[in-house]
Amino acid sequence: MPHILQLDVSARPGFAGKDLHGSHSRSLSQRFVSQWLAQRPQDTTTYRDIGQHPPACVSHDLIAASFTPEAQREPWMHETLAESNQLADELIAADILVIGVPMYNFGMPAALKAWIDQVVRPGKTVDIDTSNPADPYTPLLADRPRHAIILSARGGVGFGPGGELEALNHLEPALITALGFMGITQIHQIAIEGQEVGGEVLASSVAQANAAVDALVQQLQQATQAAELAETA
């Protein structure tokens, strides 16, 4: 039974098309999860709004605590790692990670970068073997199939693969790198573009993205059902 972790990253709390200045990325993530649960209500979810409640930024204490072996940590180190442990454990428990995220100034919002810095953790999501400098990293989230769905929103047009502004897109590539480093390599991307343009350009992009979300839900649920049947056969 898949478990979904839904992250919303937008600084805008509402939904596009419903609330004033609502978020397009939140609309996509909500659409994915609601469509999924409509067909599979038995599946479980965890929701975290890091846009409204961002994690703490990386600090000296966090670095010192996370790179200290657990048996040698002092009491203050355990306290320092409490938020990081919770966020990492939520990710570890997830079979499907749904991230609704806008592009801010060509990259990811600071809240998402803070989340990444909290969950990329030695001994939890990646192992580090300093005795093997040629290949020191082992992704710990490659232990079972996991999917990441990146649902993004961009003000301009042409930031997607093959677009004229693709080279300026530092959102999805950086996020995919961090997820892959931990072992999540089955990545699905859907984006809305043209928010700053508006009009038919935006309306068409929203319609295409909504259709793509619906198709992806159907595709992944069919694969999930096939895997479940194979396990019980």
Residues tagged in the binding site annotation for FMN: 10, 23-25, 103-106
- Name which of 185, 153, 113 is nearest 31 in CA terms: 153
Residue-level length of the chain: 233
- Alpha carbon distances (Å) from 75 to 65, 78, 121, 155, 166: 10, 5, 18, 45, 46
- Name which of 230, 225, 232, 229 is nearest 36 in CA terms: 225
* Known binding-site positions: 10, 23-25, 103-106
Query: Which structure tokens are listed for 220?
Result: 């992944």
Phi/psi for 138 (5° steps) reads: -125, 115
- The DSSP element (H or E) to which 44 belongs, if any, is strand 44-49
